[in-house]
Chain A
Amino acid sequence: MKYIYFLLITLTFFSCQEEVVLDLRQTSQIPVIEGIWTNSNGLNQVHVSYSKNYYSEEQNQVINDAEVFIINQRNGQRVSFVFNEQIQSYLPFNNRLGTVGESYELHVIIDDKEYISIGKMLPPPTLDSLTFKYNEDRVFREAGYYVTLYGKIPFVEENNYRLKIIRNDTLLNRRSDYLLFDDTFGTSILERGFELGGFPFQEGDRVRLELYRLNDDAYNYLSQLVSLLFNDGGLFSPPPQNPISNIKPVDGVGEVLGYFMVSPFISATINITEDDSD
């Protein structure tokens, strides 16, 4: 689809753009919950906030008095989360972690209204090695060093992956930096070598890749989020909709935004140096 978007850009050959101010309707505040639960230290947190007016340039209103906890569905073990003023998010008490193979419930209670989401921490694929090589300028690809990821996906189902790319300790988080893939094109992608085609690096860059294996609903949420970021409101785009959240009000009444991601975490790092190029 990335290519299709590129092609549609050619339609703007005879188009012009300008910024306008539309009189938009407003809705009441809706809670936004973003929960990350992995088997790694330093990643697990739950962020709770409210939505705001479209044109508002103020910081999101963070909810700091919610009750947040995660329950292991198998043994009922509860992990409480505590609000951290510094990062404006809830962190697990005692830096507790998730375990691969276990299923978890996220509970968030805001003003006596409880929200819940469920996720299973699936086994991770194998990440063997990273290599890189220099590529000349080509269609859809700038000149630069490109990283190739090698590994193995031994699973026949629930193949939903997200790759995060951290360049020199900075997460690449533009809309075009999302790297989501499933098994539409097979599962041998890592064995054959998965070149990160859209990400040119320079000599001296330090590249860290983080690989997550997501549940279907969390993966679909992120896929829809990316589609929404690329939705240009034109005839060729589907009608815009909020990504479907995997978090629900316990009583089934009301709205909630955001998602809960339960995932194993694996990562690898490589330094781009001329001497090591393939």
Chain B
Amino acid sequence: MKANHFMRFFLILFITYPLFFLANPQAVLAQEDSFLEGQVFEVATNNPLPGANVYWENQPQKGVVTDLDGNFRIPRIELPSKLIVSYIGFEESIRVINQKDHNKPLRFFLQESQMALEEVIIRDRRPDENVKSLDMGKSVVAIETIKNIPALFGEVDLLRSLQLLPGVQTAGEGTTGLFVRGGSADQNLIQIDGAPVYNPSHFFGFFSVFNPDALSGVEFYKGNIPSNFGGRISSVIDISLKEGNYEKVRGEGGIGTISSRLTVDGPLFSENSSFVVSGRRTYADMFLRLSSNPEINSNDLYFYDLSGKFTFKLGEKDKLSVSSYYGSDFLGLSSQFGLGWNNWVTSITWNRNISERLFFDLNAYHSAYQYNVNFDDPDNGFKWGNRLSESGVKAEWNFNVTENTLINWGVHSQLYNFAPISLDPAPGSAIEPIATNPRNGMQNNVFIGAATDVTDRLRVDAGLRWAIFQLHGRGVDYIYAEGEPSPDAEITDSLVFRPFQRIKGFNGLEPRLSFRYLIQDDLSIKASYNRNFQYLQVASSSSAGLPIDRWILAGTYVPPIRGDQVSVGVFKNLEGNKWEVSGEVYYKDIKNIIDLRQGANILFTDNVESEILTGNGYAYGTEFLLRKNTGRTTGWLSYTYSRTWRQIDGISFDQWYNPRFDRPHDLTLVLNHEFNKRWSAGLTFVYTTGQAVTFPVGSYEVDNQRLPLYSGVRNDDRFPDYHRMDASVTWKNVDKGRKWKGSWNFSVYNLYGRKNPFAYQFTEIYNDQINFTPTQTDVIESRRPGVVMTYLFTFLPSVTYNFNF
């Protein structure tokens, strides 16, 4: 019955609104005269200023906020009246609006406040937004906030900063993989300007691929994912590359402990177009070359990334932007061995304001990821590589029906191409070449969503996404005896498919529904339900991603993952939005997640399905957040209690078990303080329950080897609790009108040198030396069982010089 009510509401919402406006067009037109419209700019750059508050004098509660293009639209009151435009860090602009101004386009230019250095922006959003919006489990993180967080090696890192938000776990020390509300790392859709990034990490996951100087912002959805996003069940991390300014050429960058970066932006050809290019490179290999030891100076170890965005205003209503990101890693040994991987992501976006209420966005993208392993050896050499790509087109319409009613709809087509894994031995090698078959897929999605105020206090947002996925040729599907793939099952036949010939298809409806009830102006409760399907995932049994991880598409033997999440939250603001308090509880149900059979070898097999085990999972948790938004001291304190479970036949006696990232208690404190215009400081403290792991319960000997004995129950033990404090101090050169402005950042990772375990190895210790690995001729005087703990990064200081001009 509940489902019927829900569907009825949903149908009514979507059917009645378009009919209402078709049947009663003057309802829209009648309101035209009752609004005043304009645009807000930053005076220094002439860039539109999103998120500025616009309100009539003495009526701040009835104010509005400028959109991404700086536009606002505010209900008119009796004129003349004073209209106020304000934004944190900028001087307030007050203008008297007369009757004659009513039909003119209003333009406001805000000047950066002289006191701006004393403020730190936590979030670019309007007051009370967290209470009044329908957003649940959503964080809008300002890049300035991320830059103020003390960083490992001084490398400001977007994904590592997101790990400080409630509900986000890490797999382990230093890694950037995100485990959101019980989901795996491959269940996050990470995209730049609408294009997905398949491997968002450098250096085996210790750094993320995003250069903070190149970014304008990030929106992180972990609860109610809007219907215009889909394809991953746990979260969406929607990252926007910065748009260049239209006034003059500017630059910013930094020289850090392990890398340097530079970003330049400015007008391109005319005042209607702009560019921004950004680059970053590490220089560990340059230090290696200084060594006189040829065994050291012939090695390579670096990563770099380049990004650019070109924006063209094609008139009053149209904007076109082209952006591209390329990031690459390389590890080379003695010019003979090389491991490299790279992402190349390109997108083109066309924004058109069809009318004052109707907006259209068209986004086309191509994202490719590849790795290559090259071993140059006449006897055992080989070249091994793989490439996967996704191309897509997404069209979306947003219609502001009334001030409080929004509808959006669109279509999204995706084409997946997972190329064969190839291994080509050197001509003299004894091994034979390998090439798997390709996997290809197409996914078409349609989506629609609407949000409206049902009453003054109740706001409802409903959305529906329908994804149709098809695995198609060129490719090969195998038929197994008795229908079920397994390593022992005989392959009775193989079916070869032509390009675009259907192999297997799936489709699923993905409803979204959320409510907000405003108890008071600064207190609300919210609830949401979300369903998502995911048609591709990583086949891996380790917790951290590797460059050679194998992505697989849903198909004949691997069904898509289905994720359902319900969440309820209470949101409260205090002292005029100075403080925000929120609490959310959630429950997530996951179907058809995969793991690997014991001893599975999937790197080169064409029968991945025979190495895969499928099962289910669930997660639940409660998250609390206390955030201070303004003043000299800003930051947040969060606490999460969460659990996550998996049940996969063939693992842990078919019983429920915790994945490694199940870490029930998670406490985070992030503080920033501005002492004066020159000095500021940041402090971060994290505490989490130790990772769920498997320790031995005994030992035994087989084949002259001493082996640890495991109980068979997976992850029934725990690492010790993890805690760490980081701190940073920033000194800024006070602006005295000079063009070049610099600042120094001194940071320390793991301030009190806590030895948080990265790994425990259960091994034999020879000659009482934990790192002694006997060669064939070494004398072994003693051997005994032991446990060797590896830990990373104790008291790691770093310094970075940042500048802009």
Question: Using a CB–CB distance below 8 Å, which chain A residues touch chain B?
Answer: 3-4, 7-8, 10-12, 14-22, 24-27, 30, 32, 34, 49-57, 60, 138-141, 167, 171-175, 184-186, 188-189, 192-195, 197, 216, 220, 222-225, 227-229, 231-244, 255, 257-259
| Segment 421-469 of B: residues with Cβ below 8 Å from A | 423, 425, 429-432, 434
Question: Using a CB–CB distance below 8 Å, which chain B residues touch chain A?
Answer: 171-172, 175, 204, 206, 301, 331, 333-334, 336-337, 339, 373, 375, 377, 379-380, 423, 425, 429-432, 434, 487-488, 541-544, 546, 548, 596, 598-599, 601, 604, 660, 693-705, 707-712, 714-715, 717, 755, 758-762, 765, 770-771, 773-774, 776, 784-794, 796
Nearest A residue to B758, CB-CB? A234
Is there contact, CB below 8 Å, between B709 and A225?
no
Is there contact, CB below 8 Å, between B380 and A197?
yes
Nearest A residue to B299, CB-CB? A10
B699, B705, B771: the one contacting A52 at CB < 8 Å is B699
**How far, in Å, is A57 (CB) from chain B's closest CB?**
5
With contact pairs A57-B784, A240-B710 given, residues A20 and B760 touching in the complex (Cβ less than 8 Å): yes
Q: Give the residues in chain B near A238, CB-CB below 8 Å.
A: 541-542, 596
Is there contact, CB below 8 Å, between A222 and B699?
no
**How far, in Å, is A48 (CB) from chain B's closest CB?**
11
Nearest B residue to A28, CB-CB? B698
Which of A17, A54, A60, A244 has the most chain B CB within a 10 Å cutoff?
Answer: A54
With contact pairs A17-B770, A26-B698 given, residues A197 and B541 touching in the complex (Cβ less than 8 Å): no
Is there contact, CB below 8 Å, between B337 and A140?
yes
**How far, in Å, is A70 (CB) from chain B's closest CB?**
19
A8, A19, A216, A239: the one contacting B787 at CB < 8 Å is A19
B543, B701, B788: the one contacting A19 at CB < 8 Å is B788
B702, B715, B760, B786: the one contacting A239 at CB < 8 Å is B715
How far is B788's CA from A231's CA once the two chains are assembled, in angstroms? 12
With contact pairs A14-B793, A16-B794 given, residues A188 and B432 touching in the complex (Cβ less than 8 Å): yes
With contact pairs A3-B337, A228-B707 given, residues A26 and B377 touching in the complex (Cβ less than 8 Å): no
A-B contact pairs, 6 of them (CB 8 A): A16-B792, A18-B789, A54-B696, A140-B337, A140-B377, A235-B171
How far is B715's CA from A182's CA once the two chains are assembled, in angstroms? 31
With contact pairs A185-B431, A235-B175, A241-B710 given, residues A15 and B792 touching in the complex (Cβ less than 8 Å): yes
Is there contact, CB below 8 Å, between B701 and A60?
yes
How far is B375's CA from A167's CA once the two chains are assembled, in angstroms? 28
**How far, in Å, is A24 (CB) from chain B's closest CB?**
6
Which of B543, B712, B787 has the most chain A CB within a 10 Å cutoff?
Answer: B787
Is there contact, CB below 8 Å, between A51 and B699?
yes
Nearest A residue to B600, CB-CB? A238
- Chain A-chain B contacts (Cβ-Cβ < 8 Å), number: 223
How far is B785's CA from A52's CA once the two chains are assembled, in angstroms? 12
A10, A19, A171, A192: the one contacting B301 at CB < 8 Å is A10
Is there contact, CB below 8 Å, between B708 and A240?
yes
**How far, in Å, is A133 (CB) from chain B's closest CB?**
10
How far is B100's CA from A158's CA once the two chains are assembled, in angstroms? 90
Q: Give the residues in chain A near B423, CB-CB below 8 Å.
A: 185
Q: A34-B702, A139-B333 are in contact. List 8 more A-B contacts (CB 8 A).
A: A19-B789, A20-B760, A49-B700, A56-B699, A173-B703, A174-B774, A224-B598, A229-B707
Is there contact, CB below 8 Å, between B698 and A53?
yes
Is there contact, CB below 8 Å, between B791 and A15?
yes
Is there contact, CB below 8 Å, between B700 and A232?
no
Is there contact, CB below 8 Å, between B544 and A235?
yes
Is there contact, CB below 8 Å, between B375 and A3?
yes
Is there contact, CB below 8 Å, between B707 and A25?
no
B541, B771, B785: the one contacting A56 at CB < 8 Å is B785
How far is B786's CA from A55's CA once the two chains are assembled, in angstroms? 7
Q: Give the residues in chain A near B604, CB-CB below 8 Å.
A: 184
B599, B696, B701: the one contacting A223 at CB < 8 Å is B599
Is there contact, CB below 8 Å, between B705 and A225?
yes
Is there contact, CB below 8 Å, between A242 and B699?
no
**How far, in Å, is B41 (CB) from chain A's closest CB?**
46
Is there contact, CB below 8 Å, between A12 and B785?
no
Nearest B residue to A245, CB-CB? B702
Is there contact, CB below 8 Å, between A7 and B698?
no
With contact pairs A195-B379, A223-B599, A233-B761 given, residues A239 and B696 touching in the complex (Cβ less than 8 Å): no
How far is B701's CA from A243's CA once the two chains are assembled, in angstroms? 12
**How far, in Å, is A174 (CB) from chain B's closest CB?**
6
**How far, in Å, is B67 (CB) from chain A's closest CB?**
42
Nearest B residue to A168, CB-CB? B776
How far is B774's CA from A236's CA once the two chains are assembled, in angstroms? 24
Nearest A residue to B332, CB-CB? A139
**How far, in Å, is B6 (CB) from chain A's closest CB?**
40
Q: Give the residues in chain B near A223, CB-CB below 8 Å.
A: 599
B172, B430, B596: the one contacting A234 at CB < 8 Å is B172
With contact pairs A30-B698, A173-B705 given, residues A7 and B171 touching in the complex (Cβ less than 8 Å): no
B546, B787, B792: the one contacting A14 at CB < 8 Å is B792
How far is B378's CA from A195's CA once the two chains are assembled, in angstroms? 11
How far is B700's CA from A259's CA once the two chains are assembled, in angstroms? 13
With contact pairs A3-B375, A240-B710 given, residues A257 and B702 touching in the complex (Cβ less than 8 Å): yes
How far is B761's CA from A231's CA once the two chains are assembled, in angstroms? 7
Is there contact, CB below 8 Å, between A19 and B695?
no
**How far, in Å, is B293 (CB) from chain A's closest CB?**
14
Is there contact, CB below 8 Å, between B698 and A186?
no
Is there contact, CB below 8 Å, between A52 and B788?
no
Is there contact, CB below 8 Å, between A242 and B712?
yes
Q: Give the residues in chain B near A57, CB-CB below 8 Å.
A: 784-785
How far is B796's CA from A24's CA once the two chains are assembled, in angstroms? 31
Q: Give the residues in chain B near A3, CB-CB below 8 Å.
A: 337, 373, 375
Is there contact, CB below 8 Å, between A19 and B707?
no
How far is B717's CA from A174's CA once the two chains are assembled, in angstroms? 29
**How far, in Å, is B688 (CB) from chain A's closest CB?**
15
**How far, in Å, is A112 (CB) from chain B's closest CB?**
22
Is there contact, CB below 8 Å, between A225 and B702?
yes
Q: Give the residues in chain A near B699, CB-CB below 8 Å.
A: 51-54, 56
How far is B701's CA from A34's CA once the two chains are assembled, in angstroms? 9
Nearest A residue to B335, CB-CB? A139
How far is B708's CA from A53's CA once the two chains are assembled, in angstroms? 9
Q: Give the residues in chain B near A239, CB-CB below 8 Å.
A: 541, 660, 693-694, 714-715
**How far, in Å, is A221 (CB) from chain B's closest CB?**
9
Is there contact, CB below 8 Å, between B705 and A175?
yes
Is there contact, CB below 8 Å, between A258 and B598?
no
Q: Give the residues in chain A near B660, CB-CB below 8 Å.
A: 235, 239
Is there contact, CB below 8 Å, between B712 and A241?
yes
**How far, in Å, is A43 (CB) from chain B's closest CB?**
13
How far is B711's CA from A223's CA once the two chains are assembled, in angstroms? 20
Q: Give the residues in chain A near B761, CB-CB below 8 Å.
A: 231-233
Q: Give the residues in chain B near A21, CB-CB below 8 Å.
A: 787
Q: Give the residues in chain A near B759, CB-CB below 8 Å.
A: 232-235, 237
Q: Give the residues in chain A near B792, CB-CB below 8 Å.
A: 14-16
Nearest B residue to A11, CB-CB? B204
With contact pairs A18-B770, A234-B759 given, residues A12 and B596 touching in the complex (Cβ less than 8 Å): no
**How far, in Å, is A254 (CB) from chain B's closest CB?**
12
Is there contact, CB below 8 Å, between A34 and B703?
yes
Nearest B residue to A217, CB-CB? B488
Q: Give the residues in chain B near A258, CB-CB below 8 Å.
A: 700, 702
How far is B662's CA from A239's CA once the two chains are assembled, in angstroms? 14
**How far, in Å, is B413 (CB) from chain A's closest CB?**
36
**How far, in Å, is A206 (CB) from chain B's closest CB?**
14
Q: Give the residues in chain A near B432, CB-CB below 8 Å.
A: 185-186, 188-189
Which of B542, B697, B703, B765 has the most chain A CB within a 10 Å cutoff?
Answer: B703
**How far, in Å, is A13 (CB) from chain B's closest CB?**
9
Q: Give the residues in chain A near B695, CB-CB below 8 Å.
A: 22, 24-25
Is there contact, CB below 8 Å, between A240 and B694?
yes
**How far, in Å, is A54 (CB) from chain B's closest CB?**
5
CB-CB nearest 5 A-B residue pairs: A186-B432, A234-B759, A235-B544, A185-B431, A238-B541
Q: Give the residues in chain A near B717, CB-CB below 8 Å.
A: 25
Which of B175, B715, B765, B790 has the most chain A CB within a 10 Å cutoff?
Answer: B790
Is there contact, CB below 8 Å, between B336 and A52?
no
